[in-house]
Every structure is written in C-alpha cells, then in structure tokens.
Amino acid sequence: MDTALSPIEQLVQELLDVILNLVPLDDTARLARCSKCLHFRLQPVLLENEQRRARAMKWACEKGLNNMIRTLVSCYGASPSLVVLRDRDRYGVPTGTWTLHLAAKHHRVDTFDLLLDLGATLEHHAFRSSTAQAFVTNLCQPENRDTLLYSFLHAGLATQLEQQHRDQMLMTVLISGIGLEKWEDERWPYLEVVRLLLDGGANPNFVQRVNPKTKKESLSPLSAAIMSHRWDLFDLLLARGANIHGAPKEEDHGHWVPHPLHVPMCAAAVAMARGQGRISAEPVQRCLDAGADINAAVLSQPFEDPDSWPAISWIRPVHLYLESIDSWEDERGVAEGLQDLLRKGASLDTAMEAPAGYYEVVQQSSYGIVRVGTYMYRLKALSPPVTTLLDKWPPDTLRQRSFLETIKILVRHGGLDPRPGKRLAKYDCSDDVGKEVVIAWQDLLAAVLNLVRTKEDRTGFLFDYIVAKGEYPKLGICDPSAAPWAPPIKRPVIGPLAYATVTRFILAGANINAVLSDARPQDPADKPQTALFKLCDRYACKSYHFFAYHLPRLVPERAAFLTWLVREAGADPTIKCIYWGETGCELRTAAELLRAEMGQFRVEERELAEELIKVLEK
C-alpha cells in the first residue's frame, strides 16, 4: 500500500481490497469498466495469474479488443498464439485453442491481422484434432476467404497444419468455385490462394468425397478445376504435379462412388453434361491435350442393398456423360456432344477387365466375387447405355428430339442390350402416351431394325418382346428391375407402343409363330415354344407370394393382348408345343393347355380363361 496517501485515501484502498476479495472475478471485470481510474487500479488484479490472463486473451480475441491484446502480450507476457484454460482434460489432452482460431470463429479481421503481426503461430501446442478441423472450416467460410484465409496463407502458416487439413483446405477452396460467380470477382485472388496452398504442402492429387452423407461423388483438385471451367487453375495444378489420369491404383480403394469424378476425364464428361447453355466439348479436349485417356475405365460403387454383397462396376466417361444429363432441350446439343465424344474415340463397350493384379477373382459365377485388398465385392457388369437412359427417363421424353437422336446414335454404335426385346418391353408403362410419342417410337424401332437385320434376329426380338410384355410387371411383387421413374403398377399396361412394336416387326419379316426358348443359343433343357403358347403356360402356373398368397396372372389386359395376337397379329393357336403335364412331356395346343390347367386359376381368372379358350379354338 502507498504510504504517501492520506488516512482517508488509505481507508478507501483497504475497503476496495476487501470488496475485491469478496466479489467474483466477473463482477471485478465489470467494476473495472466503470472508470479509467478503476481500470488501471484493477487491471493487475484481473491479470495477476496465468489462468486469468488466458481468460482475458480469449475474451479479447472473441470481442476484437485489440488494445487489450497488445497489453497482454507486451506488459504481461501472454502468448499471442495460445489460450490454455486448464492444463489437461480428463483424457490428458490440453484444453484450449489458438488465438487465431478465436478471431476467425468470430470474424474479427483486424484482430486476426494483429495476432499475425504479433507473431501468432500454430506450432506450439497439440490440441485435439477437432480444434484444427474447426479452424480450417472457419477460415474457408465464404465471408472469410478473401480476408482471413488470404492473410493466413500469405503469412506462410499453412505448413504448420497437418497434411489432411492442408488438403481439406485446398479442396474446400476449389469446390466452392464450382458454379459460383465469386470466382469471377477480381478481388478474390483464387489463383494466388491455390498457389499459396500448394506452396504450403497441399497435395494436388488429394481425393475427397463430396457430401459425405450420400457419398455420391468424389473429386480431386484437378477435377474441381475442370468442373468450374477454370483453365488457368487447371494449368497450374498440372504444373504442380497433378495426375491427369487420376489417383494411382493403390489410392483408388475408398473412393468408389457412383460418380468417380476424381478421375479428370470423368469430371470433364460430367462437366459437359452439366454445363449451362449449349454443351461444350472444351473440358474433354483439354484433358485429351494433356494426355488423358477418353476410355479410362474406373471402378464405381452403385447404391446397393446393404444386406447383400457390396457391388462394384467398371464405368467410362461416356457413361457418366449420359448419366449426368439433366435436360433434353434441343438448344443444348446433347446428341451433338455424344457424337463428338464418339468421334474422339469414346467406346460404349461395357465389358471391361481390370489390369493384371488389380483384384483377385474369388468366385466365378453370373456375378464374380472379387477381393480388393481385404474387402470382398460383387463385380457387376455395367448396364448398356440405352438401358441407362430408358431407366432414367419416362416415355414422354421421346417428344424431345435431342433424346430420341441420342438413343438412335447409341443404337447405331452398339449401345443396345444383347436382348433388346426384353428391355424395350419394360419401357411402355403408360396407355396414354400420345401421338407424338408413338411417332417417335416408330422412329426408334426403325433404328433397331437397322441393327437387327436378319430375319432370325428379328424373330428373336419379337419373341422376347411379346413374352416380356405379356409378363411384365409381376403383379403383387415389387420388381427390382423397374425404372425409378415408373409409378407402382397394380395392373399390366399393354398400350399403343406394344401394338406398334409387334406390328412393325411382323411387317419387317419377323415370324410370330417361331418355336423358340427363353435361352439363346438354345438350351436343350428348356422347352421350345411359341410366344403365344409360352404366355399361356406362364399364366397357368401357380405363383405364390412369400405370404403363401396365390398371385393373379391372367387379368383382362393380358387376355386382350393374347386375343389381339391371335385375331390381328397372326399368332397361330393350333401349333402344338412341348408341355410338361401330370403325365409327363406332351404336345398340346394353347387351348388344350389352358383347359388342362383350369384348376390352377383363381376363381376370378377362370372366366377369362374360358373366354380365351374360345378365341384360341376358333
């Protein structure tokens, strides 16, 4: 206590000391704000130990109190880098944070710059990894990128972050530029920011899943530059060691998603399809000029039933181009974009093999079981391109000229199923498609006929189509092969497209009365039958749901279709085919088959069966 003070003044000081011993620290801090005199008198009390100085530094960084920060650093020796509130938590990890993190979290630009000037760093303490993760997230927020992030990188502190955080920061900056006008702003030095991150040790070949919840896509820095059409950034990444062919084989596992865009050529194909306005081939051409392979085969992992083996499939850029199309407006030039890819050498082949040693085949079956590292997968063949489009888009899309032209191009280049009759039969799920759709369907059938040239092939197509159309859908059962756009079907739909298809192929020379089997080349164990007889055979077989409920098969729509086949299309019901009855193998007509199996029909089906027998016997 100062002895030069008068007794009254000394009494005031003593009373103040007593009060300070009784009130909490927070009240003392409020009292210090009452006057400048109290502030200077109480400041040593507020900052008398390291714990109190840490709390004061935390408060100053959060509220932007720059004078207090200068005082704490210069007069009390506080660290400009760290705020440690307790030595250790219950897990033995230091509890605290960086001062730069506190300023970034509350967007204190002036405070952040002041801390950098005072020598704040990130390398003095090992906090929880979540602290560094939160700091990187705050720096990369849109409102902080052109201020705090640039200052942080310009100070050369990126090297003090762990590798995963540097890579995440690079990808966050690049992904934020996809489709944003912010990249057009000259005040946002995105190229300089990326260059500083690469100088700080960020990996130009890092792969990150986009939207970790759905895990639908994966991106690399080069792919992000392609998706944002930033070719100066594309050239910079190539110059810094980015791999134009994508991640090396040993890094592929873990990045298998439906859209593996971490391969630059795949990203270029998707950028073509998703671009605004007319489709441009510049992304693909840029990758080709850099040495990329337009037929780069990449493993993808489509969404599957979690209870089954996870499946992987080989996919090529042209398939990703078709999957990523979201609009068929004629001015976009989707068909012209596909033509350009095919001219550049893109292949529609779905039968792809892995390089030697890529995986080990464990089981050879209809779908192979393969082992990649320590994981097991089902290796599935990718759907043909035409199937991909028909599964995604409903029949009304045929009104769009661009969609129809794309399908015809794919048909001409071998993008159709090996058994196209079955695939096309599942596409007609509406009975009110309109005249325009029927005309477009006829145009599509003309393209299929140019591919299926021989009479035998056309007969096989017609056989597959009639059988599949007569059976689809399986009533009462959820059909996993149904297209995503198709609504739940409670009744079979045999509409104008079906009648147009059968008529067109019969006029083209297909034999509706050919005796074939479902398996081609012919399987001796199968029963060769006509399409009409096979449908009657299928309808007469009992079918049970998993609740042992007898499902209906013969319904009015199917009876009408069979009647039309006999009366209009020329199907001959008198042809006898092999039938396995109670007495063994027999030759019977379709009418004899239905009469022999009348007991298999449900009550409501028997009336239809009797009417159908009358038609077949005329």
Domain layout of the chain by residue ranges: 204-382, 385-566
CB-CB contact of 133 with 165 (8 Å): yes
According to DSSP, the β-strands at 375-380 and 311-315 are parallel
**Rounded to whole angstroms, how far apart are CA atoms 404 and 270?**
20
Contacts of 584 (CB under 8 A, 6+ apart): none
CB-CB contact of 543 with 597 (8 Å): no
In this structure, of 78-92, 262-276, 442-456, the range with the lowest mean pLDDT score is 78-92
What are the distances in angstroms from CA 29 to CA 44, 47, 75, 80, 475?
A: 11, 10, 18, 22, 77
DSSP class of 147 = I
Q: How large is the average pLDDT for residues 88-107?
A: 78
Retrieve residue 300's tokens.
Answer: 């993808």
Q: How large is the average pLDDT for residues 64-86?
A: 86
Share of the chain above pLDDT 70, in %: 77
Q: Angle at which helices 556-567 and 455-471 pack, to 10 degrees? A: 150
Q: Quick one: pLDDT at residue 91?
A: 60
Q: How large is the average pLDDT for residues 180-204?
A: 76
The mean pLDDT of the chain is 81
∠341-345-346 over CA atoms, to 5°? 55
**Rounded to whole angstroms, how far apart are CA atoms 58 and 103?**
9
The CATH number of the structural domain formed by 204-382 is 1.25.40.20
**Rounded to whole angstroms, how far apart are CA atoms 447 and 433?**
20
Retrieve residue 402's tokens.
Answer: 């661009």
pLDDT tens-digit series, residues 564-587: 999 999 999 999 988 776 666 778
Residue 1 has pLDDT above 70, yes or no: no
Q: Give the total residue count for the chain.
A: 618
Q: Cis before residue 473, ω within 30 degrees of 0?
A: yes
Strands (E), 182-292: 208-210, 217-219, 259-260
pTM for the whole structure: 0.82
pLDDT tens-digit series, residues 218-266: 889 999 999 888 899 999 999 999 999 987 655 555 557 778 888 999 9
Q: Is the dihedral of CA 191, 193, 195, 201 positive or negative?
A: negative
Percent of the chain as helix, strand, coil, to the nearest 5: 50, 10, 40
The closest alpha carbon to 69, from 83, 85, 56, belongs to 56
* Secondary structure (DSSP) of 543-563: -B-TTS-B-----HHHHHHHH
pLDDT tens-digit series, residues 13-65: 777 777 766 677 667 667 666 777 766 676 776 677 777 788 888 888 998 98
pLDDT tens-digit series, residues 318-340: 999 999 998 898 878 899 999 99
